[in-house]
Amino acid sequence: MPYVISGACIDVNDKSCMDECPVDCIYEGERKSYVNPKECIDCGACEPVCPVEAITQDRDVEAGMEAFVEDDRRFFVDVLPGRDAPIGAPGGARVVGTIGVDTDLVRDWQA
Ligand code: SF4
Ligand code: SF4
């Protein structure tokens, strides 16, 4: 089961987790980052470095944050604002660079 990033990352988004990921599958939006579920190998290396404990396995997300399991997936399969195709599974965040936009859920999220 892939790891996911919950809403606790929103407006923190400090990228600490990205340096830990051996397959470079954490992609940077504007307010939040997102784990690509097609590329995550479930190693768990990202989880302990997050300063706000936003990263968990998908079955362990905290109460109230369940929507972010599907939302991380949607970041890669929906066509995001300003793009003409889904991100899909490009083989690493460094391949595509900072995405710089968010899903609707994250864009409109009120803490
Ligand atoms: S669990 Fe491992 S592969 Fe998945 S996002 Fe975290 S560091 Fe990357
Ligand atoms: S370490 Fe945590 S807060 Fe920082 S970008 Fe990753 S998930 Fe977001």
User: What is the rounded average pLDDT for all residues in the chain?
Assistant: 97
**What is the domain range of residue 53?**
3-95
pLDDT at 1: 77
Cβ 14 under 6 angstroms from ligand 1: no
**Gap between the Cα atoms of 90 and 92, Å rounded:** 6
Within-domain flag for 105: no
Ligand 2, atom nearest to 49 Cα:
1
Ligand 1 atom at minimum distance from 41 CA: 3
pLDDT digits over 61-83, tens only? 999 999 999 999 999 999 999 99
Task: Write phi, then psi, for 55 (nearest 5 degrees).
Answer: -105, 130
**DSSP for residue 31:** S
b (16+ CB within 10 A) / e for 36-53: bbebbeeeeebbeebebe
Is residue 110, in this structure, part of any structural domain at all?
Answer: no
DSSP 85: S
Number of domains the chain contains: 1
Smallest Cα–Cα separation from 52: which of 20, 21, 14? 14
Angle at Cα 79 formed by Cα 26 and Cα 29, nearest 5°? Answer: 35
Instruction: Indicate which CATH number applies to the domain containing 88.
Output: 3.30.70.20
For a mutational test of ligand 1's pocket, the pick from 1, 21, 39, 75, i.e. the residue with the most ligand atoms closer than 8 A to its C-beta, is 21
Question: What pLDDT was estimated at residue 82?
Answer: 93
Give the distance (Å) from ligand 2 centre to CA of residue 15: 5
Percent of the chain with pLDDT over 90: 98
